[in-house]
Amino acid sequence: MVKIVNPFIVSGKIPPEYFCDRVEEAAQLEKALNNQMNVVLTSSRRMGKTSLVDFVFDVPSIKEEYVTITVDILHTGTFREFILALGTAVFDSVASRSEKLRKMFVTFLKSLSASFGYDTLQNMPTFDVKLGDIQRPEYTLNEIFDYLEAVDRRCLVVIDEFQQITRYPEKNVEALLRTYIQKMSNANFVFSGSRRRLMEEMFFSSKRPFYQSAKSLRLDPIKVSVYQEFAIHHFQQAEKNITAEAFQYVYDTFWGVTFYIQRIMKDAFAETLMGDTCDLEAVKELIQDYLDENDSRLREQLAFITESQKELLYAIHAEKQAQGITAMAFNKKYRLRSPSSTQSAALKLLEYELITRAENTYSISDPLLSLWLDRRKV
């Protein structure tokens, strides 16, 4: 019996046949990289930035000509942690390609030479560097970039959640990275970020080091008509069905955010038997199950914010699109403490990415959190 593959992928690389749309964005990214341009890629969280990059990196014109490196720095809080993440990614993606490149890596990184391990079975150096081994991060960064310059193929480096560098306690990290990156002749960069406003400030403000240094590519939600056709097609391929009404409900509930739609569609596909149809009631039940699954995580997320921050979060949720949050009328309506307290709470909620701001309008960042708050009637 042939095992049916669930076509709604939620983790890892997505095979081309299960990759929904992004035709225009993929073509733009491929063209920019093939023309040796740096790219700043922005979208809200869980919209599919990483999947898009993975998809383009598997295109023959990229895969056969370049070495691709992906560095996720969301977890980093200092410049030294950034260097460790970058060095690890370069070693794993580049140096591991051959004995020559691995030994060359050790040769170039003189500042860390005493920290490398050695695999006696394979007669190869290993990257056993710890955070404490990085004593001169700027010097080590220069060595890593010098190594990339010497690699035999052009390198494409993705730095995921690039806005994280603005949180480092060290001064001038942006300027330092910009100085090194603009000198690179054998590598190009994709600066990927989910805090769109902050990323735009970094790359499009004339006061910032990365001003106009990269082509802008923005991911918006996939069009509902395109996504619906994709979903119905794959259900039908497996001799199953899903109603247009059911898909529309999922799309609207999760504001078109790719990850959540994929997850509910994955569950719907798994729960629908051959010959059956997934309808509106079925997806509503699946959404409730998903909320139950995330209940503890969302509770814990809110447990770490203060009472005044919770009060503002609930007020913004009630408004959906909140404006004038420091105005006396808004504070009085939701019994908030004071405009100054509201301003401080808003800055923290933005930092925690629980809310987002567009111009002077505030809203909940995560559709799942918004849905959870709806259910709790907060």
Rounded to an integer, the average pLDDT of 20-35 is: 96
Quickly state the pLDDT bin for 378 (edges 50, 70, 90).
low
Q: Hunting for tokens 């497996």 — which residue is that?
A: 238
pLDDT of 114: 64
The average confidence (pLDDT) of the chain is 93
| CB 370, CB 291: distance < 8 Å | no
8-state DSSP, 33: H
| CB 314, CB 280: distance < 8 Å | no
The one-letter amino acid at 158: V
pLDDT of 376: 77
Domain boundaries, the chain: 20-218, 224-300, 306-376
CATH of region 20-218, choose from 3.40.50.300, 2.60.120.510, 3.40.50.2300, 3.40.228.10: 3.40.50.300
Would you state the structure tokens that stand for residue 167, as one six-digit string? 């949180």
User: What digits encode the pLDDT tens for the residues 145-172?
Assistant: 999 999 999 999 999 999 999 999 999 9
Residue 319's CB is within 10 A of a number of other CB atoms, namely 18
pLDDT of 196: 86
Alpha carbons 9 and 13: distance in angstroms, whole number? 8
**Which helix (H) or strand (E) covers residue 376, if one does?**
helix 367-376
pLDDT of 17: 94
Would you state the structure tokens that stand for residue 31, as one six-digit string? 């063209």
Give pTM, 2 decimals.
0.90
pLDDT of 122: 67
Q: May I ask the CATH architecture of the domain 306-376? A: Orthogonal Bundle (1.10)
pLDDT of 2: 58
pLDDT of 377: 63
User: What digits encode the pLDDT tens for the residues 236-276?
Assistant: 999 999 999 999 999 999 999 999 999 999 999 999 999 99
Residue 262's CB is within 10 A of a number of other CB atoms, namely 25
Would you state the structure tokens that stand for residue 311, as one six-digit string? 């009060």
Helix segments in 71-169, DSSP class H: 79-93, 99-108, 137-150
How large a percentage of the chain has pLDDT more than 70? 97
User: What digits encode the pLDDT tens for the residues 280-334?
Assistant: 999 999 999 999 999 999 999 999 999 999 999 999 999 999 999 999 999 999 9
Q: Tell which wins on pLDDT, 232 or 129.
A: 232
Does position 131 have pLDDT exceeding 80, yes or no?
Answer: yes
pLDDT of 207: 94
Query: CATH number of the domain at 224-300, please?
Result: 1.10.8
List 363's β-bridge partners, or say none.
356
User: What digits encode the pLDDT tens for the residues 79-120?
Assistant: 999 999 999 999 999 988 888 998 899 899 988 876 777 676
